[in-house]
Amino acid sequence: MLRQLGLIHPIFQAPMAGVSTPALAAAVSNAGGLGAIGIGATDVAGARQMIAETRVATARPFNVNVFAHATPHRDPQRERAWLDALAPLFAEFGAEPPASLRRIYESFNDAPALMDLLIETRPAVVSFHFGLPGRAAIEALHAAGITLLATATNLHEAQLIAQSGIDGIVAQGIEAGGHRGIFDPDAEDPQLGTLALTRLLVRETNLPVIAAGGIMDGAGIAAALRLGAVAAQLGTAFLDCPESAADAAYRRALHGPGAQATRLTSVISGRPARALASRFTQLEQTAPDLCPPAYPIAYDAGKALHAAAKAQGEYGFGAYWAGQGAPLARAMPASRLMATLAQELQE
Ligand code: FMN
Instruction: Using the predicted structure, report yes or no on whether residue 48 has a pLDDT greater than 90.
Output: yes
Instruction: Using the predicted structure, report yes or no on whether residue 150 has a pLDDT greater than 90.
Output: yes
Is the CB–ligand 1 distance for residue 212 below 6 Å? yes
What is the full DSSP assignment across 153-207? SSHHHHHHHHHHT-SEEEEE-TT-SEE---S-TTS------HHHHHHHHHHH-SS
The pLDDT value recorded for residue 285 is 77
The preferred substitution site among 66, 179, 295 for testing ligand 1, maximizing ligand atoms within 8 Å of CB, is: 179
DSSP secondary-structure letter at 237? Answer: G
Is the CB–ligand 1 distance for residue 12 below 6 Å? no
Is the CB–ligand 1 distance for residue 16 below 6 Å? yes
Helix, strand and coil in the chain, % to nearest 5 = 45, 15, 45
The pLDDT value recorded for residue 287 is 73
Mean pLDDT of 83-104: 94
pLDDT digits (tens, 9 = 90+) for 74-85: 999 999 999 999
What value of ipTM does the predicted structure carry?
0.99
pLDDT digits (tens, 9 = 90+) for 100-137: 999 999 999 999 999 999 999 999 999 999 999 999 99
pLDDT band at 165 (very low <50, low <70, confident <90, very high): very high
Instruction: Using the predicted structure, report yes or no on whether residue 210 has a pLDDT greater than 80.
Output: yes
The preferred substitution site among 11, 16, 63 for testing ligand 1, maximizing ligand atoms within 8 Å of CB, is: 16
Q: Which of 277, 273, 265, 257 lies closest to 327, judged by CA?
A: 257
β 168-172/178-179 pair status: unpaired
3-state secondary structure of 130: coil
- Cβ distance 242 to 23 under 8 Å? no
Q: Which of 261, 255, 254, 299 lies closest to 277, judged by CA?
A: 261
H-state helical runs in 6-62: 22-30, 44-57
pLDDT band at 206 (very low <50, low <70, confident <90, very high): very high
Counting from 1 in the atom list of ligand 1, the atom nearest the Cα of 172 is: 23
CA 24–ligand 1 middle distance (angstroms): 14
Which domains does the chain carry?
A: 2-71+107-246+330-346 (3.20.20.70), 74-104+263-321 (no CATH)
CA 291–ligand 1 middle distance (angstroms): 24
The residue whose CA is least distant from atom 19 of ligand 1 is 178
Is the CB–ligand 1 distance for residue 235 below 6 Å? yes
pLDDT digits (tens, 9 = 90+) for 173-183: 999 999 999 99
Residue 283, Cβ neighbours under 10 Å: how many?
Answer: 19
The pLDDT value recorded for residue 289 is 79
DSSP secondary-structure letter at 333? Answer: -
Mean pLDDT of 187-210: 97
CA 176–ligand 1 middle distance (angstroms): 7
Instruction: Using the predicted structure, report yes or no on whether residue 12 has a pLDDT greater than 80.
Output: yes
- Cβ distance 287 to 191 under 8 Å? no
pLDDT digits (tens, 9 = 90+) for 219-262: 999 999 999 999 999 999 999 999 999 999 999 999 999 999 99
pLDDT band at 89 (very low <50, low <70, confident <90, very high): very high
pLDDT digits (tens, 9 = 90+) for 289-340: 788 999 999 999 999 999 999 999 999 999 999 999 999 999 999 999 999 9
The residue whose CA is least distant from atom 9 of ligand 1 is 16
CA 49–ligand 1 middle distance (angstroms): 21
The residue whose CA is least distant from atom 10 of ligand 1 is 16
Is the CB–ligand 1 distance for residue 208 below 6 Å? no
The pLDDT value recorded for residue 104 is 93
Instruction: Using the predicted structure, report yes or no on whether residue 286 has a pLDDT greater than 90.
Output: no
The pLDDT value recorded for residue 183 is 98
Is the CB–ligand 1 distance for residue 40 below 6 Å? yes
The residue whose CA is least distant from atom 20 of ligand 1 is 14
Is the CB–ligand 1 distance for residue 38 below 6 Å? yes
The pLDDT value recorded for residue 299 is 96
Counting from 1 in the atom list of ligand 1, the atom nearest the Cα of 129 is: 3
Is the CB–ligand 1 distance for residue 325 below 6 Å? yes
Is the CB–ligand 1 distance for residue 177 below 6 Å? yes
CA 160–ligand 1 middle distance (angstroms): 21
The residue whose CA is least distant from atom 12 of ligand 1 is 321
Is the CB–ligand 1 distance for residue 14 below 6 Å? yes
Is the CB–ligand 1 distance for residue 19 below 6 Å? yes
Q: Which residues contact 283 (CB under 8 A, 6 or more apart)?
A: 265, 267, 290
Record the pTM.
Answer: 0.97
pLDDT band at 62 (very low <50, low <70, confident <90, very high): very high
